Chain A
Amino acid sequence: MRFRALFPLLLVLACDGQIGAPTDARTAPGSQSPGGPVSPSPRPDAPPVEAPPRPAFEFACADPGRADPGPSPLRRLTAEEFRRSIETTLGVQIEAELPPELRANGFENTAAAQVILLAHVEALADIAESVAQDVDLSGLARRLNVCTRPEECASEMIDQIGALLFRRPLRSEERSTLVSVLGAGENAEIGVRLAIETMLQSPGFLYRLEAPLDGHGIATRLAYFIWASAPDLPLLRAADEGQLTTDAQIEAQVERMLSDPRAQLGMRAFLRQWLELDRLDGLSRSTEDFPSWTQGLGADMKEETLRLFEAVAQEAGPLDAVHDANYTFASGRLAALYGFEPSSEAAGRWDLSDVPERGGLLTQGSLLTVGGSRASLVERGLWFLETILCGEIDAPNVDVVMEMGELMPGFTQRHYAEERLQTPACAGCHIQMDPLAFGLARFDGAGVYREQDTFGNQLRWDGELIAPGDSVGAPYDRVAELARLLADHPRVRECQVLKATQYALGRALVESDGCSLAQIRDQYLAEGRTWPALVRAIALSPSLRRTRAP
């Protein structure tokens, strides 16, 4: 963001959280007790803000009949997709991993950012060799309905295994190459294993080659979207027979795939990326500052969120319920951190009917630990805005994101936020972030509920929800109210559509996706806003079923 000489001093003073901060801690202003009016709107005489808030993406469609499917960049299998694909196709579980993926545009499967390192090539060579040795050739041949004796039908085996691994019939030049590798084996079985080792490192397996997009390409897109894995034989057979053309044919496959256990893994892959849940794997907190913290709580928080989404999906209710569900899933140590009473638990599921401060994603540790041990209000609000509401805000002219005003008696994060919201140069952006996080103020950086901070300040948790595109805000008086507002907010639903579609396509969304997205949203809303409805709407969309004409 280019610095413009507009109010430079004001920006420095106003946005670093220092305004109003006393030089002497004992000269604090008045109480921060609840009940005071919320006044997040900028002053009427505020000058135009430099970075007006906006939705990250508009659902705009001038001509629904001409939906542009958008670009289709070449995608490599992610490390997770690679591993699951080997399980699906060859039935071999591997322990070795490819190098971790880079997170870009909010997801790990963004095609444009996929790099290939020497470390990938090294790992692929080792894994391919190991898998080719371990695969049960006879069992695989029976599954593919070819003869089980390589010495009698090696060439046919190559064709069938190739079609399974490449997710389409082999091209003639690929077949020639693999047959020549076959000849390098001392006998037919060794030759077939060498050919498998070759296939697992080949572009036909590692990359999703769509030249052009046909039924096999659609089968591949569906499988990696819904299962994060390769198509199975019924799906490939449908592609072979041209049975992935009509809406009804695709819907039938989607229904079948959603009832398969792999759908749960696919959903988890999406959620992990969307909500950045992998950051929780190694999460730690100082036990000096958080005495109730124990190692492994981060992983438990991740599981809590995943299980909540799964439960909502399994109950076939609207996904909105993840925001105001009155139950959760907590391990014993997580329940202890949250202060739950044991009587409300059954098989890891906790009834929150009598726990008014908890319920829904907002009150889960996975979200509450955003913002670090200091529970930064601005970081929480920004994450909330970008991840749950799909909003976008330009960076500040002054990089003050991490600089928090000093907390002390009379000075809470809320105090500094109120100051920002009264300062025209800051309010334009912060009004979109800070009030979202007001409702979380009673949860510390480990997700523990408290009503006073360590300085004895009473913590307010009332605020106002102003989502991108809203002309007026909706006030709330506690986090439960905020959760209910979110569960009913159209922007939250649109954001679910945006995130799932971006994940399905493996690329950043562009303006021309507007028509396709509008169709997906409308179908999703019309069919009850369930996870299956969202998957079905994306699977039927032009973005997934077509590519741009060359």
Chain B
Amino acid sequence: MTRYAKILSRRTFLRGAGSVAIGFPLLSAMQTRTAWGAPSGSPVRAFNLFFGLGIPKEIQAEGLQGALEPLAPFADRFAWLRGVNLYEADGRGNNHFDGGGGVFCGVEPQSDSLSGGPSVDQVIKEACYGAQYPSAMIPTLAMGSFFRRSRLTRYVHNWNQQGAPAALPLESPQALFDRVFGSDEPTDDPDARRTRHRRSVLDGVLEQYRSWSGGASPLGPDDRAKLADHLDRLREYEQRAFPEPNDTPVSSCESGTRPGSLPLLHGQAPDPDGEGVDIELDEWVDWWRSMVDIYVLALACDRTRFGGVMFQSAGERIRLKGRYRYEGRDIYDFDDRRDRGRGGSGGCSHEFWHRYNRSNENPELRHHTHFMMAQLAYFLERMDGVQDESGGSLLDTSLLTISTELGDGNPHNLESVFHMVSRAGGRFQAGTFDVDVEGLDVYNTVLDGFGISERLGPATRGVQQISGLLA
């Protein structure tokens, strides 16, 4: 068993602990390559927030009320872009896959496991940090609560330059905690000789990856990049196995304990036979909030600056049960099996999206959407509770791109796919923008906001900046 020293305290963020400040355990090594015009002076951070199944444009047109009510408190913190299409991602595949794999990248996935290009967060990471991104920091940290994962494009939303996953989402609070803070192994290896041996071995391994991924390697650029990715993981391992003395925790990272197991069907065979899973609302909310708390703590401790957060994968199939209350009000007594009149896949909430009819009220779809938005809102609240280096909240200074897989789930189109973009340290304007643009236009305008000239999408495609989005 690998033995890690504690690189940070075992304690986690206590729910409801209130505002905390960013910790700087590794800050000396974490300067952004250039300021990149950051108005706030905060380091560049970017996260993709994904939720499954989409929101039909008619419901978006109603504004931040009704099904979208939980997002209303954040109206002046985001640009809400209504009318963003992902037609460029629309290929031959099922749109759950094309949309799930195309969002944040803007183009059609290459296959069931590769995107058509990098996601916007990874382009920013590469442009703003490149090789200067500190090895002590987790390169990209993704987490999610989801069950359906028959193919990567359902649940991976951070893609590297080669279109491969930049991170696979962690699915349990325990796994997330261990990834961020190390496992609960003893602090010190009692066998100094063994430690010395392992250090020598690791040095030898690192040297060979440096050689094969470096400029003098006889391999082609894609192959070198693959080995460079392995080298990054080795450096991360090195930080955990052989921490430097100054990698010490700070006060803001010292509260709470490693989460225990929670009663939820995670980490087991997902989505058996494609027929969906039964899930209790209260258990799920506890689970999700625990994940969010740890994730935001990771950001508060500056353990990563890039990543993804997901609530339900693309084409998710669940049968939700339980009373849903929001701000003291009863919203709905969920029982999808009851409402659908059957079990199996036909009893899943997914079917409310299949049967969406713009002429009808679609109450179940609305209730589910409200529930999903409330879970995203919890993440936004927690982000707002962390003060970063500039004194602003992480919610205001980070780039948060919120999106989904589909427009209207009945025809499974990629028309008017929900998109929100945070102000990212004052780079972008808040407000509602009614547009008729491609996702690529959104992402490329975001890159403009960071002063990055690289473009997503086909090289022949012209730049179509979204009017008024840049601050």
Contacts and interface: CB of A to CB of B under 8 A. Distances in A.
B130 interface: no
Interface stretch (A105-113, A350-358, A459-467, A518-526): A105-113
Interface string B324-344: 000000000000000000001
Contact of A74 (B98, B198, B222, B410): B222
Interface stretch (B116-124, B212-220, B437-445): B212-220
A287 B197 CA distance: 54
B412 A177 contact: no
Contacts of B414: 2
A194 interface: yes
Interface string A521-549: 00000000000000000000000000000
Contacts of B205: 198, 201-202
A12 B272 CA distance: 26
B226 interface: yes
Given A105-B111, A112-B113, A203 B412 contact: no
Contact of A117 (B110, B168, B222): B168
Interface in A328-387: 372-374, 379
Contacts of A373: 273, 275, 344
B251 interface: no
A397 B208 contact: no
B2 A1 contact: no
A116 B197 CA distance: 24
Nearest to B222: A73
Interface in A377-415: 379, 394-400, 402-404
Task: Bin the interface of chain A by size.
Answer: 35 or more
Interface string B1-28: 1100000000000000000000000000
* Residue of A105, A115, A177, A201 ringed by the most chain B CB atoms within 10 A: A115
Given A115-B168, A203-B209, A402 B411 contact: no
Contacts of A128: 201
**Chain A facing B: main interface SS:** loop
A94 B345 CA distance: 40
Interface in B31-90: 87, 90
Given A8-B411, A211-B218, A400-B354, A118 B237 contact: yes
B204 A104 contact: no
Interface in A70-89: 73-74, 76
A117 B164 contact: no
A411 to B, nearest CB: 15
Contacts, number: 185
A116 B233 contact: yes
A3 B226 contact: no
B459 interface: no
Contact of B92 (A112, A190, A203, A394): A394
A513 B151 CA distance: 25
A227 B98 CA distance: 36
Interface stretch (A58-66, A178-186, A239-247): A178-186
Interface stretch (A119-127, A138-146, A485-493): A119-127
A204 B227 CA distance: 11
B351 interface: yes
Interface string A279-300: 0001010000000000000000
B197 A508 contact: no
B207 A115 contact: no
Contacts of B91: 1
Given A3-B412, A125-B2, A394-B92, A194 B200 contact: yes
B292 to A, nearest CB: 21
B469 to A, nearest CB: 25
B94 interface: yes
B438 to A, nearest CB: 13
Given A74-B222, A104-B114, A374-B344, A180 B204 contact: yes
A400 B94 CA distance: 11
Interface in A193-237: 194-195, 197-198, 201-204, 206-207, 209, 211-212
A395 B114 contact: no
Contact of A404 (B93, B204, B315, B346): B346
Nearest to B207: A177
A206 B226 CA distance: 12
Contacts of B94: 1, 395-396, 399
Interface string B183-203: 000000000010011101111
Contacts of B416: none
A122 B2 contact: yes
A275 B346 CA distance: 27
Nearest to B223: A74
A398 B409 CA distance: 9
B274 interface: yes
B129 to A, nearest CB: 19
Interface in A419-448: none
Nearest to A186: B193
A128 B202 CA distance: 11
B105 to A, nearest CB: 15
Interface string B264-289: 00000100111100000000000000
A113 B114 contact: yes
Contacts of A202: 204-205, 208-209
Contacts of A197: 197, 201
Given A2-B413, A282-B269, A398-B412, A112 B114 contact: yes
Interface in B395-441: 410-415
B219 A211 contact: yes
Interface in A1-57: 1-3, 8, 11-12, 16, 51
A310 interface: no
Contacts of A398: 354, 410-412
B115 to A, nearest CB: 11
A372 to B, nearest CB: 4
A1 B412 contact: yes
B368 interface: no
B385 interface: no
B234 interface: yes
A93 to B, nearest CB: 19
A374 B151 CA distance: 22
Contacts of B247: none
A395 B152 contact: no
A102 interface: yes
B87 A74 contact: no
Contact of A116 (B203, B229, B272): B229
B411 A74 contact: no
A112 B275 CA distance: 29
Given A116-B226, A186-B193, A372-B275, 9 more contacts: A3-B415, A112-B113, A113-B111, A115-B165, A125-B241, A194-B200, A197-B197, A379-B274, A399-B96
Interface of B: 1-2, 87, 90-98, 110-114, 151-152, 162-165, 168, 179, 193, 196-198, 200-205, 207-209, 211-212, 217-220, 222-223, 226-227, 229-230, 233-234, 236-237, 241, 269, 272-275, 315, 317, 344-346, 351, 354, 410-415
The list of the 9 closest CB pairs from A to B, nearest first, reads A104-B113, A395-B94, A184-B200, A372-B273, A74-B223, A113-B113, A211-B218, A3-B411, A402-B345
14 contacts: A1-B92, A1-B94, A113-B152, A117-B168, A181-B204, A194-B201, A201-B201, A203-B209, A209-B219, A212-B218, A372-B273, A395-B94, A397-B412, A403-B346
Interface of A: 1-3, 8, 11-12, 16, 51, 73-74, 76, 102-105, 110, 112-118, 120-122, 125-126, 128-129, 173-174, 177-178, 180-181, 184-186, 190, 194-195, 197-198, 201-204, 206-207, 209, 211-212, 282, 284, 372-374, 379, 394-400, 402-404, 508, 550
